[in-house]
Amino acid sequence: MGWFFSNLHICKTAVVDADALQSDLKEILNAKGYVQKYEPDEADLSLSIYDAGGKWVSVCSDGLDFYTDEAIRDICNPLSERLSADVLTVSCFDSDCLLLNRINRKKDIVAWAKFGSYPGLKMRSTPARWKDIVTDIAQWKSAFTQKYDFAEDALEAIEPLLGLEPNQGTFCDELISELSQQEVQTLYFNLPESAAKPEPPKLSFVSPSLMPCEIGKDQCYFVVNTGGKTKGVAIAFSGSYVEQEELRFRDVRLEYALDRSPRKTIPLSLEKKQTQTGQWVYYAELPEFSIREGVKEGLSWKRKMDEEWKREFGVRFTPEGNPRKLLDITVHFIPLKNPEGQCGWCSWHQYGSKRAYIEEYNRSWSETMQKHHPVDGVKLLNIDDYDIDE
C-alpha cells in the first residue's frame, strides 16, 4: 500500500505567521461548529501547525483532508481571503497521484497540479497559473513531463520551485514526532454536533466475504455500527440445517477491539431455539456488550477507516457436520434495542439463488486463475456437492 497524506500551506507575509494562522484557523473552524478541546483524549481530531523557517507555514490534520470541495470552501477559501495570501494544498493518494491546489482569492486564482492519476480525481493541471509563485516556470512545466516511481517523488523537484523547505510538502500527522516540538503547535477539536449519530443503531457488514464456508475451517465476519451507540447484541445462525442439527458450530466467539494486540474475545454458547415465525436458529445473546456509535461525518477518508476499524466487531466460528448444507449458513447480528437495525451474511444471497452464486463464483475465479495461475486456497465449486433446494 502506498502513502496517503493531505496538508495545507499558507504563504507568509508581513502579517501572516504561525500565530496568525492559528488564530484564523480557530475562528474559521469555530464558525463551522467545530469545538476546541484542550486534551487529545477529548477530541475528534487534531490540527498541527508547522513553521519550517521558510516561505510557508504548514498545517496537517489527522481528521481533515484539504483537497475536498468542502475543505476548499470552508477552510482554504476563507484563509486566503482573510489573510490576503496564497493557500497551497498538497495531497498524495496511495503513492499513485500527487495533487496540488493553489488558491489566491485576492488575485482570483485557482490552480491545479497533478502528477500521476487516481480513480475519482478529475482535476487537470494548469501549469501557467503558477508562474508568479514558482522560481522557474520552465523547470516547473518540465516536472510534469517526468515519470516518477512514486507520485510523492515529484516533490523533490517542485518543492524548491515553490519555496517549500525539503520534505515540507509531506508534512503529516505520522511524521510530527520526527520534528522539533518547538516547531509544531497542535490544536484539538470536536466535530460539529450535526456530525453526531443520534439515530437508532444500524449494523452493516465490513467487506463481507463471498467465499463459501468450509467444514473444519474457522470463519469470521465483521460488522460496524453506522447509527447511534447502544448496548446489547445477539448472534444467530439460521438455515435448513438447524432443525435436525445437520451442521453445528464450535469455537464460537465474539471478537472486538481489533486495534489491540491481542484483540478481545468473548466465548459464545449457542442455544437452539425456535423463533416466533417458526424458524429454527442457533442463538446467543450478549445484553451488556457495548456497541459504539457510528463514525461522525466530516472526518478524512483515512481517519474514518481507522475509526471504523476500532469499532468493528465480529463472530468467529468453525462449522462441523454435513458439507452439503454449507451454503445454507446465514449469520445474523442483531442490536437488541433495535432489531430492525440487524444485518445478515449469506454467501449466495445477493445472487438470488445458490445455482446463480455457484455459476458466477466459478466464472469469476476461472478468469482470475487463467490470468494469474492457481490461487492458494481457492477451488471451483461443484454444484452436486450442495443441497440446492430448487
Q: Which pLDDT score, from 0 to 100, does residue 364 have?
A: 85
**Structure-derived torsion over alpha carbons of residues 175, 178, 179, 182, reported in degrees to the nearest 10:** 120
How do the pLDDT tens digits run along the chain, 390 residues long? 688 999 999 999 988 889 999 999 999 999 999 999 999 888 889 999 999 889 999 999 998 999 999 999 999 999 999 999 999 999 999 999 999 999 999 999 999 999 999 988 889 999 999 999 999 999 999 999 999 999 999 999 999 999 999 999 999 988 888 887 678 999 999 988 777 767 899 999 988 778 889 999 999 999 999 999 899 999 999 999 999 999 999 999 999 999 888 899 999 999 999 998 999 999 999 999 999 999 888 888 888 888 899 999 999 999 999 999 999 999 999 999 999 999 999 999 889 999 999 999 999 888 777 666 666 667 889 999 999 875
Q: Which pLDDT score, from 0 to 100, does residue 271 have?
A: 96
Residues forming a β-bridge with 286: 233
Q: Which pLDDT score, from 0 to 100, does residue 207 have?
A: 80
Q: Which pLDDT score, from 0 to 100, does residue 49 have?
A: 95
CA distance 324 to 345: 18
Q: What is the DSSP letter of 234?
A: E
C-alpha distances (whole Å) from 164 to each of 26, 161, 371 are 24, 8, 45
- Answer whether 289's CB lies under 8 Å from 231's CB: yes
Q: Which pLDDT score, from 0 to 100, does residue 181 have?
A: 66
- Answer whether 79's CB lies under 8 Å from 57's CB: no
Q: Which pLDDT score, from 0 to 100, does residue 390 have?
A: 55
Write the secondary structure of 324-367 as one string of H (helix), E (strand) and C (coil): HHHHHCEEEEEECCCHHHCEEECCCHHHCCHHHHHHHHHHHHHH
**Side-chain-side CA neighbours of residue 65 (13 Å):** 19
Q: Which pLDDT score, from 0 to 100, does residue 78 have?
A: 94
Q: Which pLDDT score, from 0 to 100, does residue 378 have?
A: 74
Q: Which pLDDT score, from 0 to 100, does residue 202 have?
A: 95
**Structure-derived torsion over alpha carbons of residues 88, 40, 314, 2, reported in degrees to the nearest 10:** 30
Distance, CA of 80 to chain centre = 29
Residues forming a β-bridge with 234: 285, 334
Q: Cell numbers 484539504 correspond to what residue? A: 66
Question: What contacts 356, CB < 8 A, 6 or more positions away?
Answer: 348
Q: Which pLDDT score, from 0 to 100, does residue 1 have?
A: 63
